[in-house]
Amino acid sequence: VLRTVASPWTLGPLHLRNRVVMGSMHTGLEVLDDGGAALAAFYRERAAGGVGCIVTGGIAISDEARGGPDFAVFGAGGADERFRVAVEAVHEEGGAVLAQLFHAGRYALASGMVDRHGRPQRVVAPSALPWAAARGVVPTELTADEVGRTVEDFAAAARAARAIGFDGVEIMASEGYLVNQFQSPLTNLRDDEWGGDAVRRRRFAVEVVRAVRSAVPDLAVTIRLSGADLMPGSTTEDEVDALMQDLLPLGLDGISVGIGWHESRTPTVQAAVPHGAWLAYAARVARVVRASDHPEVRVIASNRMTDLRDGEAVLGDGLLDAVALARPFLADPDLVRRSLDGRFDLVNTCIGCNQACLDRSIVGAPVSCLVNPRAGRELAFPARPTTAPKRVDVVGGGPAGLAAAVDAARRGHRVTLWEADRALGGQFALAAAIPGKEDYAATVRAARAELDDRGATVHLGRAATTTDLLGSDAVVLAPGVVPRVVDLPGADLPHVMSYETALRDGVPPGTVAVVGGGGIGVDTAAFLVESPDEVVRAAAFAERWDVDVAADVIGDVPQRLPASDRSLRPGDQVTVLRRSGRFGQGVGITSRWVAVGRLRDAGVRMVGGVQEYLRIEPGALWIRDEDGLERAVPADHVVVCAGQERASGPDTDGVDGLVAALRAAGVAHEVVGGARDARSVDAVRATSEALEAVRRL
């Protein structure tokens, strides 16, 4: 099926086995003082899973190039030795690996960071313009001499990469990092040989590419170029084209097309961004390259792709050479092998939540994955089969239960999964109805396919009883959560429903009041007001953000068809109400502003500071507002999103009864996820607990 994706190609001197690149991801493993073991295990699994080429997370070319304290620096602190081990692991699995040459510039989060002499870390940039997230750290403007030395640092780093054994290097010149900062009139206010007009602003990128190319003539050299900065007043399309015209004669082997700056207010990688949204920018770069005197330079598309069938659609016409995916390799290290085998049903799909990856990376915490809690912990939780297979029963088929069941089955245990509902997925099955979250269904589908493949028994519509479980060697209890019911006069009226009912069955036409504006309330409102059709949403996205959205892949993949029908009429007012805290509280830092912003764009009324919910009547929800006044919120329907509570569990005595019975019978057991603590439940914690529980059993 994936004829083009599967075809070998060359990238400069490299012969690569397929056209899938694992894009650069900063994991935090790069600085672990373990001789490179964890990093090697992480990369080895992805290379063994068939990816053609891996690009490392950014490796700083000097101390002051680091993005934060958890960035490795070439030649410092044992980084070269660690990467040598990682590179060898990739090579042993038949893959190739490029080192990303990185300089954060003003994007360094230097708070608490010291240089190798113990002094506070200097942050440098083309001009002394701080980044809001840098907590007041104003970068030092590089002198002209220092700019020249920074160019040399890039070349020295490339030589170091070669000595380590890397197959090539990728120069990071996108996403608003230093090279990109030099190019943009927003961040380069200089008036010397490195700035002052567009030609001089491009000079830094040109000199870096020239220096790196001549430093490593026998390696693949690529650049990660910004297809569009998505920053008002930044580099124009014509200037991007002009930069390419400058760079192409310098012997580049490839261009990987990035999009947006970290401080851009246009969403780029959140779940609400349509699949393949940024391909038009890669295609534009490719057209410039093909029309140039160097049409052989490879162009690699990236961002917001989760499925290699999309990759096939993208590469099919030959304009682009390869696709780079990043987060999907956290979700499934076997993404390539499974896809090339035609087993798309087995691919554990990245759901674009950012909760265990980007949201952690930006605060310097170790990166993992919500749907694959082993990600980044391959060494601690090895994949090898158990030597003592057991009967393992898992109670609950939500995210935590599925994570437990899949890991136990992979390790060779005899797994039985019990789900009281008629379908698997729990909260994920509900989330899949929310526009942009359709991939939640794909990860559930993948878990089911893997359990079936590995001979696990799955009982649906069947709550496990104590009797069912007494013969087990080990039980994981993950019955999950149920919507919290509000105690309010009128809460039992027929037009009042839980978010579960709303997402499952839809909401009839009319005005809607959503009680609770946390993550679920915000998602439920999006469900009410946004089209389930990704093609329609993509057009709206393009218009809202004034960007080009390619139609190539959107809506191609059947799993993205609308999960449920909605019948809200255009113009039906939706009001989201919240007592205290911010709307979307609980949604991760990189996604909350998008989740809330899309509601404001859609005309959803957001009413915060509600002092009290008073009563529900036909047609209205009565509240005491922030001024203490009683007021009616129009509501033909009321959807309650007031948090969650522990599911009562599979037995008449609930989880606690089951635990007592298992304890009395001496059956090993663990309670995980929302059943352990519904108040602070978060899916990352739940799946992680599930994995850890299985490994303890």
Tell me the closest approach of the beta carbon of residue 381 to ligand SF4, in angstroms.
16
Alpha carbon separation from 533 to 387, 505, 516 (Å, rounded): 48, 17, 26
Tell me the closest approach of the beta carbon of residue 371 to ligand SF4, in angstroms.
5
> Which one among 273, 353, 642, 686 touches ligand SF4, defined by CB under 6 A?
353
Tell me the closest approach of the beta carbon of residue 106 to ligand SF4, in angstroms.
26
Instruction: Count each helix (H run) and each strand (E run) in the chain, helices first.
Output: 21, 27
Asked whether position 402 contacts ligand SF4 by CB under 6 A, the answer is no
Asked whether position 330 contacts ligand SF4 by CB under 6 A, the answer is yes
Find out whether 262 and 175 touch, Cβ atoms under 8 Å.
Answer: yes
Asked whether position 371 contacts ligand SF4 by CB under 6 A, the answer is yes
Asked whether position 282 contacts ligand SF4 by CB under 6 A, the answer is no
Asked whether position 576 contacts ligand SF4 by CB under 6 A, the answer is no
| Distance (Å, whole) CA 473 – CA 469 | 9
| Distance (Å, whole) CA 444 – CA 450 | 10
Comparison of 399 and 518: residue with beta carbon closer to ligand SF4: 399
> Which one among 27, 62, 355, 416 touches ligand SF4, defined by CB under 6 A?
355
> Which one among 16, 231, 357, 658 touches ligand SF4, defined by CB under 6 A?
357
Asked whether position 27 contacts ligand SF4 by CB under 6 A, the answer is no
Asked whether position 431 contacts ligand SF4 by CB under 6 A, the answer is no
> Which one among 322, 356, 415, 694 touches ligand SF4, defined by CB under 6 A?
356
16 phi/psi in degrees, rounded to 5:
-110, 145
Which pair of tokens denotes residue 5? 């994706």
Tell me the closest approach of the beta carbon of residue 358 to ligand SF4, in angstroms.
7
Find out whether 207 and 193 touch, Cβ atoms under 8 Å.
Answer: no
Tell me the closest approach of the beta carbon of residue 326 to ligand SF4, in angstroms.
8
Residue 665 three-state SS = helix
Q: Which residue stretch of 129-137, 151-159, 221-229, 368-376 sits at the interface with ligand SF4 (rule: CB under 6 A)?
A: 368-376
Q: Which residue stretch of 237-245, 346-354, 546-554, 567-575 sits at the interface with ligand SF4 (rule: CB under 6 A)?
A: 346-354
CA atoms within 13 A on the CB side of 182: 31
> Which one among 173, 314, 331, 599 touches ligand SF4, defined by CB under 6 A?
331
Q: Which residue has the tokens 């607990």?
A: 689
Tell me the closest approach of the beta carbon of residue 58 to ligand SF4, in angstroms.
18
Q: What is the DSSP string of 543-564?
A: HHHT-----SSTT-SGGGS-SS
| Distance (Å, whole) CA 496 – CA 617 | 10
- First-residue to last-residue Cα distance in the chain: 40
Q: Which residue stretch of 354-362, 563-571, 616-624, 667-675 sits at the interface with ligand SF4 (rule: CB under 6 A)?
A: 354-362
Tell me the closest approach of the beta carbon of residue 330 to ligand SF4, in angstroms.
4
Asked whether position 351 contacts ligand SF4 by CB under 6 A, the answer is yes
| Distance (Å, whole) CA 251 – CA 297 | 9
Query: Which residues does the annotation mark as catalytic?
Result: 177
Strand partners, 416: 393, 457
195 secondary structure, DSSP code: B
Q: How many residues form the binding site for ligand SF4 (CB under 6 A)? A: 14
> Which one among 4, 235, 354, 427 touches ligand SF4, defined by CB under 6 A?
354
Q: Which residue stretch of 91-99, 179-187, 352-360, 505-513 sits at the interface with ligand SF4 (rule: CB under 6 A)?
A: 352-360
Find out whether 19 and 4 touch, Cβ atoms under 8 Å.
Answer: yes
For Cα atoms 273, 277, 281, give the angle at the middle one, nearest 5 degrees: 140
Asked whether position 370 contacts ligand SF4 by CB under 6 A, the answer is yes
| Distance (Å, whole) CA 135 – CA 581 | 23
Alpha carbon separation from 287 to 248, 268, 297, 657 (Å, rounded): 13, 22, 11, 65
Q: Which residue stretch of 206-214, 363-371, 421-429, 519-527 sits at the interface with ligand SF4 (rule: CB under 6 A)?
A: 363-371
Where on the chain is the footprint of ligand SF4 (CB under 6 A)? Answer: 327, 330-331, 350-357, 369-371
